[in-house]
Chain A
Amino acid sequence: MKTIGIPRGLFFYYYYPLWRTFFEKLGVQVVVSAPTNRRIVDQGLLTAVNEACLPVKVYYGHVLDLCHRGVDYIFAPRLVSVEYRGYICPKFMGIPDMLRAQIPDLPPLIDIKVDLSRDERQLERDVFELGKLFGSDRYKVKAAWAAGQQELEEFRRIAAVGFPLNQAVTIWERAGEAPMASGDKTRLNPGGENIRTGGEASEATPRSSDLTIGVLGHGYSLCDAMVSMGLVRKLQELGARVVTAEMLKTDEVEAYASTLPKRMFWTLGKKNIGSALWMDEEPAVDGIIYLACFGCGPDSLVGEIIARRVVNTPFMMMIVDEHTGEAGVVTRLEAFYDMVARRKNAV
């Protein structure tokens, strides 16, 4: 059986169930790179150009990880656009060429172009071409694609319940093996019971307040603990309930995003701005944190737009790169958390 490697980075966290199901239905064995670890990060840093953003460097690391595993192909699509008139980022558009130029002895890349900015015809064509490569006829390809879409919807339902995308991926994968254990749900929002020990000044705000913090940013940064420095988990450990963009209703997010004077053409930017504006007006959300990667083009503007428009809720922009220290992140999170808690208690 042929094997295809899927790097655990970038849009993996948004589309993995679709890709995996599709390839498996075509009779291809799917291999996923290891969860991001130090070695993957280091290899990515060594290989990618220094000016690239951390998620792209980490993606390189995942591709290298797959190379070492000796897969027959690597799936690295050219993602131009995943919705009508929307784009992701220029870097996504060049990724297959970047990999080919910089990684020697790369297995053949499956670099189909996904461009839904105008219509779906070209993607359809490419998907059929891809099927042919693995010896499948149109009928089989169609069925495989439909099955993939179905799994994608299932995955999105899981995320909407309140699981961050990385947890949703795990749950979805396990669901494929056994029915989902109901105990899984307790992994969400463990906050509330955390009792901190140590010599806190007496006037310090109690940590056990149940704050709700909106966490925004790109899924591939938030879900990757090596990139985000475990931001979501750390907030949960502080006792916060975490809300992400995936937990909000898509149409409401869209409606908020459409209040901008000009249509936002970045898919993730639109989602984040819409979510931020929604959260800003939602009394249950006590604070908003935006995680951005140093050097990210879209976020340099999206962050600014949000910062100027979020007026009711405390907002913090957190910028990370490969040099960011864990301790610094913790300090900033705690400071923000305390500030939000004080503000809430004052009201």
Chain B
Amino acid sequence: MKVTFPHMGRAWIAIKSLFEGLNLEVVVPPPCSRRTLELGVRHSPEFACLPLKINVGNFIEGLKAGADTIVTAGGWGPCRFGYYAQVQRDILTDLGYQFDLIVLEAPDSRLSELANQVRALGVNISYAGMLRAIYRAWEKLKAVDELEESLRYCLPRVTRPAEAEKVLHEGLQAIEAAVTAREIRQALKMGRSRLEGLPYNREPVARIGLVGEIYTLLEPSSNCEIERKLGYLGAEVHRAVSMPQWINDHLLGGILRVDSSQEALECASPYLNDWVGGHGRETVGYSVKYGREGFDGVIQIGPLTCMPEIVAQAVLGQVSQKEGIPVMTMYFDEQTGEAGVMTRLEAFLDMVQRRKQFAAAR
């Protein structure tokens, strides 16, 4: 059995570690590229949301690279994600691929359900062995997230942003190669101190909160590398959602002491008073929170036709007005062009800066 899985940003580092810890042979799909997107778009339903399409591309490339089993996640509504795997299976089967598909269904409440699913996946693995694998994957997930956060801080400040990105990549490689929890922490510490040691010569032009649908937030190939672009343009970016936080909130019921979205969710009222699937409520809540914390602007991103984000977008106008923070919405699909994205980001940052200067002058 050789397993592959869909990409979502840099989650692959933790997923690979988890599967290897379960004694599985792992085929990490090639990084998301133009080709991945093309493959996905060609074979997926035209009007499906972008993550489904990119995933199909990942699966095809993973199977071509020798995998025979796909592991992915599922759910029970209300949004499309819960039915992704079913449609993807139809697509790949009709294309003639032979494979097993294992869907980890998000448990309604009980974590043990998921643990059992994970254990069933493993080969000759004891309960303790499984826990060790989970623990190590979790440590890696956190380390990657923290290193990325350091980069978001550095990018708008350092003299040579490209150098900072190089340091990040080396840091990620070290995290990936690490075996023990101690090594993982060491790799993180090292990467961080190297980032901090880079020459700085500027201050960010703006502080921007990035909110929206989780996949689009985490997977740079699905958002025209918006985080990177903003960093290069001199904006300090805060991303509303992270993997560790999502796992803590959705799988562990918020028991861990990592970041939780609880506080932000409370901020969503009275603008959005209920859950609307996906990350709609988080989007609204974080926009309010960023407004109250004095950020200069909020950018909402998601795949075109994303239902929860459309609901959020409808109330964000009011949030912007009442909380006094500029908000811009950007949707992405296979036709989104780099140049157009860049122009909109530049225009938004310009506006935000002028607004800031105007406020300071008064």
Contacts and interface: CB of A to CB of B under 8 A. Distances in A.
A204 B80 CA distance: 43
Interface stretch (A24-32, A151-159, A244-252, A299-307): A299-307
Contacts of B308: 90, 94
A261 interface: yes
A5 B342 CA distance: 45
21 contacts: A52-B310, A86-B77, A87-B78, A90-B311, A91-B307, A94-B272, A94-B276, A94-B312, A96-B273, A97-B272, A100-B318, A102-B314, A113-B274, A265-B78, A294-B47, A295-B47, A297-B49, A305-B86, A305-B87, A305-B90, A308-B94
B33 interface: no
Contact of B274 (A94, A294, A301): A94
Contacts of B331: 51
Given A80-B274, A297-B80, A301-B80, 8 more contacts: A90-B308, A91-B311, A101-B317, A262-B83, A262-B86, A295-B305, A296-B47, A303-B45
A264 B306 CA distance: 19
A195 interface: no
B271 interface: yes
A161 interface: no
Give the interface residue-count category, chain B: 35 or more
A274 to B, nearest CB: 15
B76 A265 contact: yes
B86 A90 contact: no
Nearest to B315: A101
Contact of B47 (A85, A266, A300): A300
A264 B78 CA distance: 10
A304 B314 contact: no
State the main secondary structure of chain A at its contact with B: mixed
A298 interface: yes
Contact of A304 (B45, B275, B278, B305): B45
A90 B45 CA distance: 20
A291 interface: no
Interface string A76-93: 001011000111111101
B114 interface: no
B307 A90 contact: yes
A92 B304 CA distance: 18
Contacts of B313: 49, 51
Interface in B25-53: 45-49
Contacts of B312: 94
A311 interface: no
Interface in B276-322: 276-278, 280, 304-308, 310-315, 317-318
